[in-house]
Amino acid sequence: MLGYGFAGGERTMLRAVEQGDLARVNAMLAAGEELEQRDPARRTPLLIATRLDHVDIALVLIAAGADVNARDNIRDTPFLYAGAEGRNKILRAILASGRADMASTNRYGGTALIPAAHHGHPETVRILLATDIDIDHVNRLGWTALMEAVILGDGGAVYQEIVGELVRAGARDIPDNDGVSALEHARRRGYTEIAELIASAG
């Protein structure tokens, strides 16, 4: 549980989602329960379902028209969180709804693609690269998805796969705020395979 602090009988949809009670959620939807309720941190039922990876509930809420771009107190949205944490079934449903704001950014100024790369989710990266998301978006740290995969990754097979996906999709090696490229960062860290991938892309 995430400690949502629900009081009494309030926010019943939020409570049912937290408990993973799909039957109750369906009954509430049929009764016209409000989809965009908020907990004390301004999380909606869909964001809670996404955070807890309650896939079946999330899919029902998306189909019912839940706001996939509703922000909580730390600027997370169901779309951004699904991308950042590799909730791929939920992410696919959000994208299929046609309602995702592909240009939306998190509290670090990054699109969904940047934390997907940072957190080591190659399948999520592939899903997002199949959309019109900005592959070269620069966040407030001065980093792109490619840069984060290098700087915040471990150079291993997962991050090699992610870097490969990004460079094949046309990611540019945009230097950080200190003028250091992802290629140079990879070389400094001894990430030989990643350095070769970036160098091969020119």
Find out whether 193 and 183 touch, Cβ atoms under 8 Å: no
Are residues 27 and 11 in contact, defined by beta-carbon separation less than 8 angstroms?
A: no
CATH 1.10.357.10 for domain 1-76, yes or no, is: no
Given a contact cutoff of 8 angstroms between Cβ atoms, the answer to whether 159 and 195 are in contact is no
Alpha carbons 137 and 174: distance in angstroms, whole number: 10
Instruction: Name the one residue in this structure whose structure tokens are 């840069």.
Output: 147
CA pair distance 13, 18, nearest whole angstrom: 9
Q: pLDDT tens digits, residue range 77-123?
A: 999 999 999 999 999 999 999 999 999 999 999 999 999 999 999 99
- Delimit the CATH 1.25.40.20 region(s) of the chain: 1-76, 102-202
pLDDT confidence of residue 12:
86
| CATH among 3.40.50.300, 3.40.190.10, 1.25.40.20, 1.20.1250.20 for 102-202 | 1.25.40.20
In whole angstroms, what is the distance from residue 196 CA to residue 41 CA? 44
Number of Cβ atoms within 10 Å of the Cβ of 10: 10
pLDDT per position as a tens digit, 186-200:
999 999 999 999 999
For range 152-177, the mean pLDDT: 98
Q: Which of 83, 90, 75, 140 is nearest to 117 (CA)?
A: 83
202 falls in which pLDDT band (50, 70, 90)? confident
Residues 26, 62: contact at Cβ < 8 Å? no
Q: Is the pTM of this model over 0.85?
A: yes
Q: Is 127 within 8 Å of 95 (Cβ atoms)?
A: yes
